Structure 1
Amino acid sequence: MARLSQELARFACLPAHPEQPEPYPEGSPPIRLEEILKLAGERSFGLFLAVLSFPSALPLPAPGYSTPFGVVILLLALQMLAGRTTPWLPPWVLQTSIERKQFQKWVQAGIPWLQRIEKVACPRWQPVCTSRLGQVWLSTLISLMGISMIIPVPGTNTLPAMGVFVTAFGLLEEDGILCSLGSLICVAAGLLTTSILVGLWLGGTTLLDWLRR
């Protein structure tokens, strides 16, 4: 089975040398989530979650995508929590689209990082990924990270997306160590998001008190 970096490179029409991408022809239709779901195949949840969190997990910004992708990640995580083995999304969600050139830029920027992770990923500590208890724990964390990505506040998107990506990649490879690392990132992201929201609430309360004087 092809590795995720190879799947994404082929899907994004990248040549053998990613630093010289072959641009999509002018007028190419955007990529729909339905196409990504077909790419995922039997690895649906892991690959789908990895691809959706990928843009926001990159050092490059992904303006406008964190919130809608966060909604889809939340929907998928709730289905995992309920014990579904294959994802279901309403037709209007599957028609959500991404500009092909934008997708190609994300893949081009992320493949070097992805290949580094693939070098160390392998099936180990599999109960973390495959046991019901492990799946409940991971899907709960991913759900919370999806909610964080939905919040349109700076600082609440990138680290949660990183947590989802590492966890999803661990699920994809049945690598319990990667899933555990992803869990730690998710917990750190949750603390960061909580701190930011509490800080905004306290700051807003202080400002209102000052204005009332």
Structure 2
Amino acid sequence: MAQLSQDLHQFFIEEPSAEQVTLASVLELAGERTFGFLFVLLALPSALPIPAAGYSVPFGIVMLLLAAQLIVGAKTPWLPSRIMHHPIAIKRVQGFVKSGIPWMQKIERVSKPRLTPVCTSRVGQVFIGLAITLMSVSMMIPIPGTNTLPAMGIFVTGFGLLDDDGAISLAGMLLCLCGATLTLSILYALSVGGSSLYDWLRVGFKSLMGK
């Protein structure tokens, strides 16, 4: 699984077998590292420097379900049949796979099994699951700036799970922390700004009415 970029390039770019693809068919590439594979693949569209539109909410929901299963100790992920067999046009997938492969290759060059308890122990999996849960929720918030960095955090954390590379997963969780900080800052700024705007309008209305 260390060469995920090659597998995805062959599956989607070199030898596409149909005009549509399902998650169930792609999972044939995953081997035993299903959780990490799914997190990497589902976070990729939103983690790109220019995110692919329309994926943050549906993929965020799926990753939220997967993260919950990781937290409770599931050995293999489960997703509803409707999600597993929902067809997606392969041309849409080819676009973000092509854009994501160079980033995957950069991580693959340094990825190797190390600090494995981070990825394999129950405590490590709970922390990873919680981090991905929070970032999945952040991805679903329809506010600019709350999608890309959280998706990057999930992408890198998931890559660590692929090779039991605890160092990469820790780096991913650090990105998740940065993503959480950014999201909370944006929400706070909007809250304060919204309140200030409301107060300004209220005062202006009272002045207009002569009160």
Q: Specify the alignment match of 1:178 in structure 2.
A: 168
Q: Aligned to 2:191, which of 164, 178, 201?
A: 201
Confirm or deny that 1:103 pairs with 2:81. Answer: no
Confirm or deny that 1:58 pairs with 2:48. Answer: yes
Encode CA deviations 1:105-152: one digit per residue, 9 max, x unaligned: 111111112111101100001111111111111110001000001111
Q: What amino acid sits opposite 1:206 in the alignment?
A: S
Q: Specify the alignment match of 1:7 in structure 2.
A: 7
Encode CA deviations 1:168-192: one digit per residue, 9 max, x unaligned: 0000011111011001000000000
Q: How far apart in 2 are the matches of 1:50 and 1:78?
A: 16
Count of aligned positions? 203
Q: How far apart in 2 are the matches of 1:193 and 1:73?
A: 18
Q: Specify the alignment match of 2:132 in structure 1.
A: 142
Q: Specify the alignment match of 1:76 in structure 2.
A: 66
Gaps of 5+ in 1: 16-23
Encode CA deviations 1:181-211: one digit per residue, 9 max, x unaligned: 0010000000000101111111111111122
Helix, strand or coil for the counterpart of 1:85?
coil
Identity of aligned residues (%): 53
Helix, strand or coil for the counterpart of 1:13?
helix
* C-alpha contact (below 8 Å) 2:40/2:159 kept by paired residues: yes
Helix, strand or coil for the counterpart of 1:12?
helix
Confirm or deny that 1:132 pairs with 2:122. Answer: yes
* C-alpha contact (below 8 Å) 2:2/2:162 kept by paired residues: no
Helix, strand or coil for the counterpart of 2:31?
helix
Q: How far apart in 2 are the matches of 1:2 and 1:167?
A: 14
Q: Aligned to 1:49, which of 30, 39, 43?
A: 39
Q: Aligned to 1:87, which of 77, 86, 90?
A: 77
Q: How far apart in 1 are the matches of 2:65 and 2:26?
A: 16
TM-score of the superposition, structure 1-length normalised? 0.89
Q: Specify the alignment match of 1:168 in structure 2.
A: 158
Confirm or deny that 1:31 pairs with 2:21. Answer: yes
Q: How far apart in 1 are the matches of 2:158 and 2:37?
A: 7
* C-alpha contact (below 8 Å) 1:121/1:173 kept by paired residues: yes
* C-alpha contact (below 8 Å) 1:36/1:48 kept by paired residues: no
Encode CA deviations 1:52-111: one digit per residue, 9 max, x unaligned: 001111112211111110100100000000110111111222234432112111111111
Q: Specify the alignment match of 1:189 in structure 2.
A: 179
Helix, strand or coil for the counterpart of 1:76?
helix
* C-alpha contact (below 8 Å) 1:14/1:104 kept by paired residues: no
Q: How far apart in 2 are the matches of 1:187 and 1:146?
A: 13
* C-alpha contact (below 8 Å) 1:53/1:165 kept by paired residues: yes
Q: How far apart in 1 are the matches of 2:150 and 2:2?
A: 27
The structure with more radius of gyration: 2
How far off its partner does 1:31 sit? 2.0
Q: How far apart in 2 are the matches of 1:99 and 1:198?
A: 38
Q: CA RMSD in A?
A: 1.7
Q: What amino acid sits opposite 1:154 in the alignment?
A: P
TM-score of the superposition, structure 2-length normalised? 0.90
